[in-house]
Amino acid sequence: MLSRELSLYLEHQVRVGFFGSGVGLSLILGFSVAYACYYLSSIAKKPQLVTGGESFSRFLQNHCPVVTETYYPTVWCWESRGQTLLRPFITSKPSVQYRNELIKTADGGQISLDWFDNCNSRCYMDATTRPTILLLPGLTGTSKESYILHMIHLSEDLGYRCVVFNNRGVAGENLLTPRTYCCANTEDLETVIHHVHSLYPSAPFLAAGVSMGGIQLLILAHTSSQGCEIEPHVRLCAGHRHMFVKQIDMDHVMKAKSIREFDKRFTSVMFGYQTIDDYYTDASPNRRLKSVGIPVLCLNSVDDVFSPSHAIPIETAKQNPNVALVLTSYGGHIGFLEGLWPRQSTYMDRVFKQFVQAMVEHGHELSSM
């Protein structure tokens, strides 16, 4: 008992002496000032805006100013791995009521589309002319991902309609044919685009892709981060294993320890590539960037853990007036957290909202420049 009381007394005296003398407070203030100086001088920076033409650059500066403003990453979580890992847990998931539609493909398969019709839109009450935003999640992502829900919430505020393209087999629908998807194959995406456009031919039509979804858009355009994990894709194949056993050695596939091994044993075989390098070459959007014929904005962080900065095609982008790259110093992979407690919005969300609004309301300026 005496020992416990002595311990508490000494602890109290040390605490009082440390802070009461002002030494502790001075250390805390000194550290805070030093950290603030380091953050403002080295962490908070304006993104690098790379465009292939002055017209697109002026358009973005006038109608999408966020791409030229200083990006302030969350002060306690600006490192790439922290941004990447924490976003799914920190950001909120707005409630969205979807209308599901299953459409057939030429090979007998089916694609699940989740619609947010925004029937209460006050800006675009006529459904036939209501702007439509096609959203493409990342690898194994669905319409339930937090970043997709935030894009829909922002689109709802603007009065737009959204439709989410779920890749085959990831959204709970049955896989009807022994085929999934990959970065290089855009047949399903083309089917979806033709279907959506046929439903609303008079409505402005835009698309936004995240991670693998962005790669597919860039390849199809001929677009914010790229990268992938092995475990979710292996789980996807395990759930539909019976569909592939006749053409692929699934026991060998399930033993894959890396995404390269998985692509070598499964993806490249399924889509008829001779080697894994042939698949990766075909899946790379960099060589197609020169021929992109529509305005495309690509957001990427140079500290992305999955997409190294040296792989970003800066010089190629400079050769195409339809392409703009927005490169932040920090942000991780689909992170871009900002603010003290980034629950409601991220830098990526603000870029998305300003750009789609700029294209819907002022896109005609690009054709006249």
Q: Is the pLDDT of residue 28 over 90?
A: no
126-130: long-range contacts at Cβ-Cβ below 8 A with a sequence spacing of 24 or more?
A: 127/161, 127/200, 128/200, 128/202, 128/203, 129/200, 129/202, 129/203, 129/204, 130/159, 130/160, 130/161, 130/200, 130/203
One domain, residues 311 and 254 = no
- Is 2 a domain residue? no
- Is 331 a domain residue? yes
Instruction: Give the integer Cα–Cα distance in Å for 44 and 33.
Output: 15
pLDDT, mean of residues 184-192: 91
Instruction: Give the integer Cα–Cα distance in Å for 210 and 165.
Output: 12
One domain, residues 143 and 263 = no
Supply the CATH number for residue 132's domain: 3.40.50.1820
* Strand, coil or helix: 172: coil
Q: Predicted confidence band at 232 (pLDDT cuts at 50, 70, 90)?
A: very low
- Which is nearest to 52 in space by CA: 338, 342, 296, 303? 296
* Strand, coil or helix: 162: strand
Active site members: 211, 304, 333
pLDDT of the residue at 337:
96
Q: Which of 284, 315, 350 is the last residue of a domain?
A: 284
Using a pLDDT cut of 90, give the percent of the chain over it.
Answer: 54
Q: Predicted confidence band at 12 (pLDDT cuts at 50, 70, 90)?
A: low
Q: Is the pLDDT of residue 171 over 80?
A: yes
Instruction: Give the integer Cα–Cα distance in Å for 236 and 14.
Output: 57
Q: Predicted confidence band at 230 (pLDDT cuts at 50, 70, 90)?
A: very low
One domain, residues 219 and 252 = no
One domain, residues 259 and 137 = no
On whether the CB atoms of residues 51 and 110 are closer than 8 A, the answer is: no
Q: Predicted confidence band at 22 (pLDDT cuts at 50, 70, 90)?
A: low
Better-predicted residue by pLDDT, 202 or 30: 202
pLDDT of the residue at 183:
80
Q: Is the pLDDT of residue 139 over 60?
A: yes
pLDDT of the residue at 252:
81
Structure tokens, 286 = 């960099």
* Beta bridge pairs of residue 70: none
**What letter represents residue 332's amino acid?**
G
Query: In this predicted model, what pLDDT tens digit does every residue of 272-296 receive, in sequence order?
Result: 888 888 877 777 767 778 888 899 9
Q: Is the pLDDT of residue 263 over 90?
A: no
pLDDT of the residue at 6:
45
One domain, residues 278 and 200 = no
One domain, residues 249 and 146 = no
Backbone dihedral region of 164: left (phi > 0), alpha (psi from -120 to 50 degrees) or beta? beta
Instruction: Give the integer Cα–Cα distance in Å for 79 and 76.
Output: 9
One domain, residues 256 and 327 = no
Query: In this predicted model, what pLDDT tens digit does every residue of 38-80 receive, in sequence order?
Result: 999 999 999 999 998 899 999 999 999 999 999 999 999 999 9
Better-predicted residue by pLDDT, 340 or 193: 193
Q: Predicted confidence band at 123 (pLDDT cuts at 50, 70, 90)?
A: very high
One domain, residues 91 and 195 = yes
pLDDT, mean of residues 267-271: 80
- Is 19 a domain residue? no
Count of beta carbons in the 10 Å neighbourhood of residue 278: 14
Please state the φ and ψ torsions of residue 55, each to the nearest 5 degrees: -60, -50
- Which is nearest to 218 in space by CA: 304, 127, 324? 324
What is the domain extent for residue 268? 244-284
- Is 138 a domain residue? yes
CA-to-CA separations, 368 to 188, 207, 365, in angstroms, rounded: 33, 22, 5
- Is 77 a domain residue? yes
- Is 10 a domain residue? no
Instruction: Give the integer Cα–Cα distance in Å for 32 and 36.
Output: 6
* Average pLDDT, rounded, for the chain: 85
Q: Is the dihedral of CA 234, 239, 240, 245 positive or negative?
A: positive
Q: Which of 234, 260, 284 is the last residue of a domain?
A: 284
One domain, residues 200 and 340 = yes
On whether the CB atoms of residues 127 and 97 are closer than 8 A, the answer is: no
On whether the CB atoms of residues 162 and 115 are closer than 8 A, the answer is: yes
- Is 112 a domain residue? yes
pLDDT of the residue at 5:
56
- Is 352 a domain residue? yes
Q: Total structural domains in the chain?
A: 2
Helix ranges (H only) for the chain are 2-20, 23-38, 54-63, 80-90, 146-158, 187-199, 212-221, 230-239, 250-254, 259-262, 268-270, 276-283, 314-317, 347-362, 364-368
| pTM, rounded to two decimals | 0.82
pLDDT of the residue at 4:
57
pLDDT, mean of residues 194-222: 90
Better-predicted residue by pLDDT, 84 or 27: 84
Q: Is the pLDDT of residue 215 over 70?
A: yes
pLDDT, mean of residues 161-168: 96
One domain, residues 271 and 295 = no
Query: In this predicted model, what pLDDT tens digit does every residue of 337-362 receive, in sequence order?
Result: 998 888 888 999 999 999 999 999 99
One domain, residues 145 and 213 = yes
One domain, residues 250 and 211 = no
Instruction: Give the integer Cα–Cα distance in Å for 311 and 282.
Output: 15
